[in-house]
Amino acid sequence: MRINAITIEAFRGFNEKRRFEFPNTSIVILHGPNGYGKTSFFDAIEWGLTGVIYRYEQDPERKLYRYIGNHFAMDKPPKVTIELVNSDTRITVTRTGAAGTSVKTDGGANFLEVEINGEKVPDYKAEIVLKEKLVHAEWLDKVDLNKSLFLTHLLCQERMNGILRGMKEKERYNSVSRIFGTEQFAVYGDIVHKARIELEERRLAFSQKLGQLTTEEEMLEDRIRGIRMDLTDTSPASRNNQWLSAFHHFVDEFQISPVSEDQDQVTNFIKIAEAQVELLEQERIYLEEDTFRRLELAKDASTSLQDKLPLLIQWEQENKLAQTLDEHEIRLYKLQMLYDNTTIFLQSEQTKMQNEQLNKELLKQSMELQLKADRLFEALNEVKNLLITARNRKQIDGLSGAFALAYPHLEETPRLALYHAL
């Protein structure tokens, strides 16, 4: 796919909304002095398609600050819209960043919208669908889209400075290999080198095994030649020697006590030897049949396993999917519990705040009543003193006026009521 148009607004060097169109264009050349937005243009493509600017993400200090939006755009969020087309598909990618002083860093603070031939892709699938459209299916797990787009900035000042000054020789070689697309050749070279080492080890093992088999073959040929010589030698002395050799071998093999050359004992020995030969023949037949039977069972088991292997793989995938679903159900249950507990907690907090407000009001009323009670108590003591003074002076008729003059801050109704009660 190719870029048909791009719209940039409030993004890095671009404050006002700008639209660039490239209809049926194979080569685009940007030129201009420093600070005119050439790098910001490429940054807009990289950020619009990936959500990050790779060179800032690689710097642990720079990525902690805001670097996406234009500093003169005030509260207007950065926004990039890229239109991608090919022979039968039109994709519109719109990425909007965060705005305002509450956001401290641009890492992950953006929202992606994707439309394919006018149909909007669900938000939760937008990132995955976009990458699938940009990268071939066979390379999805091998290509880092962020790194690939960043490496196309070959003549970017920061990029050249990093390649020339900030890298070691091996890192510089790897970076240049990625730029020119030869990185995979190095990977294939490592694979071939490991394969050569493994093949060499296997060749040496086969050579050793071949040497052992060659030695055994020579020994077998020597024995065959000896047997042929024994078979071709038909003289009585030779046959007697063969019989004696077989006799001693039989005695040693079956641990039979030595026998004399008496005819009866020799005859008995021959019967024993024939019986042993028959037992050995039966055992040989049994072993052959059992071996063939085991081979047939193994062959049937292997065929059955090959036939059922796709089903086993499907069951394994379904089992993994079921485990994933169980994990998601557990997480969903925990989230629901958290949501329910959050509602209860908020209600309890609201009730607590209401109770605290009510307690404050009651405390305030209590303090006011206490203040009034203290004033009345002081007035009562003063009235008693005035009454005593008035009685002493026999001037009871002037008590009400003196009381009112002494305590003008008391309300008149309770003051008169107190006076008459006294």
Q: Which two tokens stand for residue 127?
A: 């990132």
Altogether, the residues listed in the chain come to a count of: 422
Q: Which two tokens stand for residue 374?
A: 């203290």
Closest by CA to 40, choosing from 71, 83, 86, is 71
Name the residue ranges covered by the structural domains of the chain: 2-181
Q: Which two tokens stand for residue 285?
A: 């037949």
Please give the pLDDT value at position 397.
Answer: 47
- CB burial of residue 390 (10 Å; 0-12, 13-18, 19+): middle
Please give the pLDDT value at position 114.
Answer: 94
Contacts of 296 (CB under 8 A, 6+ apart): none
Please give the pLDDT value at position 92.
Answer: 95
Q: What's the whole-model pTM score?
A: 0.42
Q: 48 near 95, Cβ under 8 Å?
A: yes
Please give the pLDDT value at position 396.
Answer: 46
Q: What is the pLDDT along the chain (422 residues), one digit of tens a residue?
A: 888 999 999 998 898 999 999 888 778 888 888 888 888 898 899 889 888 887 777 777 776 777 788 888 778 899 999 999 988 899 999 999 887 767 677 767 788 999 999 999 998 889 888 888 888 777 777 666 666 665 555 556 666 666 667 677 877 777 777 666 666 677 777 888 888 898 889 888 888 888 888 888 888 888 877 776 765 655 555 555 656 666 666 666 655 555 555 566 666 766 777 777 778 778 878 877 777 777 777 777 777 777 777 887 888 888 888 888 888 888 888 888 887 788 787 888 888 888 888 888 888 888 888 888 888 888 888 878 877 776 666 544 455 555 556 655 556 666 666 666 66
Q: 134 near 112, Cβ under 8 Å?
A: no
Top-level class of domain 2-181? alpha beta
E-strand ranges in 10-141 read 18-21, 79-85, 90-97, 110-116, 119-120
22 three-class SS: coil
Q: Which two tokens stand for residue 12?
A: 């890095």
Closest by CA to 134, choosing from 1, 45, 231, is 1
